[in-house]
Amino acid sequence: MIAGISAVEEIDYATELGIETIVTDHHEPGTELPKALAVIDNKRKDTTYPFRELAGVGVAFKVIQALGTKLGLKEESYLKYLDIVCLGTISDIVPLVDENRVIAKLGLMLVEKTRNIGLRSIINSSGYKKIDSTTISFGVAPRINACGRMGKAGEALELFLSSNINTVNELTKRLNDHNSVRQATEKAIYENVIEKIEKENLNDNKVLIVTGENWHHGVIGIVSSKITDMYFKPSILLSFEEDGIGKGSGRSIPGFDLHEALSKCSDKIEKFGGHSMAVGITVKKEELEDFKQELEKIATESKIEEIIPIVNIDAKINLSDINKEMVQSLKQLEPFGEANKMPIFAFKNLKIDSIRALSEGKHLKLTLKDNNNIINAIGFNMGYLVDEYRIGDKIDVAGVLEINSFNGVDNLQINMKDIMKSI
C-alpha cells in the first residue's frame, strides 16, 4: 500500500488489517508521522538528505535509485525513467534548482526521444512542436492532471503503461476530452466564486475563504490558485456536502506560509496537509465561522497586508538591443520553471502604435514602437486594460521575450507581465 504523510489513521487501520505500508511524499509532515514500514519524505524534520525540494515523483525516483544501487543494478535500469520523472517534476511546480534542475534538464532530453508511446501521443495531441518545459507545463501536464481531477486517474496510468497503439490513441482522446470537461467545470466554479466574493464583500478580508456546495473537488485547487493570483491574497475554497463536511484546497502568496498558519488553528480543522503555498483541508460546518475568524486573526497578526506583489526585473533593455539570435540564446538558461523563471526585461518609454483586446476581451494585444524599432506585445488576462490606454500613449513594460511563430513566419514578441504609463 502507498499512502501520504498525513494518512496517520488510514495507515493505522491498514496495519490492523496486516497490510504493510510505505509512505513516499514531499509534503510537510504533521506532528505525528504514520506508523508505516518506511516513511520517506525529504521534508521530514529529522532528514539528513541535502535537498528538500524534490517533487513527489522525485522522492519515488530516489527510492528506485537507492534500491537499484543496493541491488547492484546498472544505472540504465532506473535512469530510463527520467522522462516520466521529469514530467512529474515540472508538472508539480517545484523549484527547478539543484537536483530538480538536473532531473528536468536530462529528463527533457529523454522526453524528446521517448520510447513511451503514450507520452509521445499526448505530446503530439497537445499541438506543441518543440520539447521544453513550456510544452510539459501547458501542453502535457493539464491533460494528465485532468484525469485525476475528473476521477479518471487510472486512464493516465494506463496511457503510460500501454504498448498498444490503438489503446494509446483511444486513451489520448479520452485525456483530451477529460481536459475539456475540466476546463468547463473550472470556468463554472471560478465564475461562482467571483460572484460570491463580490456579493459578500469577501475581498475586505485578509484571507479569502469561499464556500459552496457540490463543487468538483478535483478542480477547486486550480480555481483557488486563480483567485489568489487575481486578488493577491491567500484563498481557501471549501465545498460542503449534505453531511456538513467541507473539503477543499487553498493557495497562498509568497511571504505567507499557509501550512504554518493552519497549524496554529488546527483545533478548528478536521484535517489538513500540504506545504507553505498549497494545502488540502477538511472543515466541519459547525467549526467554519470559528476557523474563519482564527485564520483571519493569524493573517492580521502577520501583517499580511504589507506583502505586495513584486515583478523581479533581470535587466532594462531597448528594442534596438534585441534580435532573434539574442532571444534564442536565452534557451541556454532552460529548463525554466519555479525558482528559475524566464528572464524578465523592462522596456521604458515605448509608444503604443496599436491596441486591441483578443478572445472576447480576455487578452491584450499591442504594437509598441521606439524610434524606428517596432515589436508586438501580448498580455494574457490583461484585456480589462484595453480602455485605460490609447494609441500614442507612452508606456513602460515588463515582460519576457519570445519568438512567436505564425503561418511559418517568426516574429519577436514581448509577453507582458506588467504595464504602466511612463512617468
Q: Does residue 191 lie within any of the structural domains? A: no
How far is residue 261's CA from residue 310's CA, in Å, rounded to a whole number? 22
Q: What span, in angstroms and rounded, lies between the C-alpha atoms of 242 and 237? A: 17
Average pLDDT estimate for 59-78: 95
User: In this structure, is residue 193 part of a structural domain?
Assistant: no
Mean pLDDT, the chain, integer: 93
Domain of 351, CATH number, reads: 2.40.50.460
> What residues pair up with 377 in beta bridges, in sequence order?
366, 414
**Residue 2 confidence (pLDDT):** 53
Q: Is residue 83 located within the same domain as residue 172? A: yes
Tell me if 116 is assigned to some domain: yes
Q: Which domain, by its residues, includes 95?
A: 2-181
Q: Give per-residue pLDDT as tens, 273-319.
A: 888 999 999 999 999 999 999 999 999 999 999 998 889 999 999 99
Alpha-carbon span 276 to 60, nearest angstrom: 21
Q: Are residues 23 and 134 in the same domain?
A: yes
Domain boundary (279, 306, 333) is at: 306
pLDDT tens digits for range 90-128: 998 899 999 999 999 999 999 999 999 999 999 999 988
Task: Indicate whether 328 and 288 sit together in one domain.
Answer: no
Q: Are residues 297 and 329 in the same domain?
A: no
Same domain, 213 and 271: yes
State which of 150, 181, 212 marks the end of a domain.
Answer: 181
List, for residues 232-274, the tens digit of each pLDDT value.
999 999 999 888 999 999 999 999 999 999 999 999 999 998 8
User: Is 328 part of a structural domain of the chain?
Assistant: yes
Query: What integer is the mean pLDDT of 365-390?
Result: 94
Residue 288 lies in a domain: yes
Instruction: Specify whether 85 is located in the same domain as 227.
Output: no
CA quadruple 94, 100, 105, 110: dihedral, nearest 10: -90
- Is 187 domain-assigned? no
Cβ burial, residue 163 (10 Å; 0-12/13-18/19+): exposed
**Could you tell me where the beta strands, DSSP code E, fall in 123-277?**
208-213, 235-240, 245-251, 271-274
Q: What is the pLDDT of residue 3?
A: 61
Clarify whether residues 44 and 108 are in a common domain: yes
Q: Are residues 234 and 146 in the same domain?
A: no
Q: Are residues 109 and 175 in the same domain?
A: yes
pLDDT the model gives residue 388: 95
Total count of domains within the chain: 3
CATH number, domain with residue 81: 3.90.1640.30
Q: What's the mean pLDDT in 74-78?
A: 94
d(CA 56, CA 25) in angstroms, rounded, equals 5
**What is residue 31's predicted lDDT score, i.e. its pLDDT?**
85
283-292, long-range: CB within 8 Å, 24+ apart, which pairs? 283/238, 283/245, 283/246, 283/248, 284/244, 284/245, 284/246, 285/240, 285/244, 285/245, 285/246, 286/244, 288/211, 288/238, 288/246, 291/209, 291/265, 292/209
Which pLDDT score is estimated for 164?
96
pLDDT of residue 338: 84
Are the C-beta atoms of 88 and 55 separated by less than 8 Å?
Answer: yes
Same domain? 273 vs 291: yes
Closest CA to 53 of 104, 107, 8, 106: 104
User: Phi and psi (nearest 5°) for 278?
Assistant: -150, 135
Indicate if 177 and 208 belong to the same structural domain.
Answer: no
Please report the pLDDT score of residue 87 as a whole number: 95
Predicted confidence (pLDDT) per residue in 4-41, tens digit: 888 899 999 999 999 999 999 998 898 899 999 999 99
Instruction: Kindly state whether residues 92 and 64 are assigned to the same domain.
Output: yes
Q: By percentage, how much of the chain surpasses pLDDT 70?
A: 99
Confidence at 353, pLDDT banded by 50, 70, 90: very high
pLDDT of residue 80: 94
Please indicate, yes or no, if residue 195 is contained in any of the structural domains: no
Using one digit for the tens of pLDDT, what is the confidence trace for 193-232? 999 999 999 999 999 999 999 899 889 999 999 999 989 9
% the chain with pLDDT above 90? 83
Position 384 pLDDT exceeds 70: yes
Instruction: Note the pLDDT of residue 1.
Output: 47
- Looking at 283, 306, 329, which one is the last position of a domain? 306
CATH number of the domain where residue 274 is located: 3.10.310.30
For residue 125, report the phi and psi dihedrals to the nearest 5 degrees. -70, -20
Residue 188 placed within a domain: no
Note the pTM of the prediction, 2 decimals: 0.77
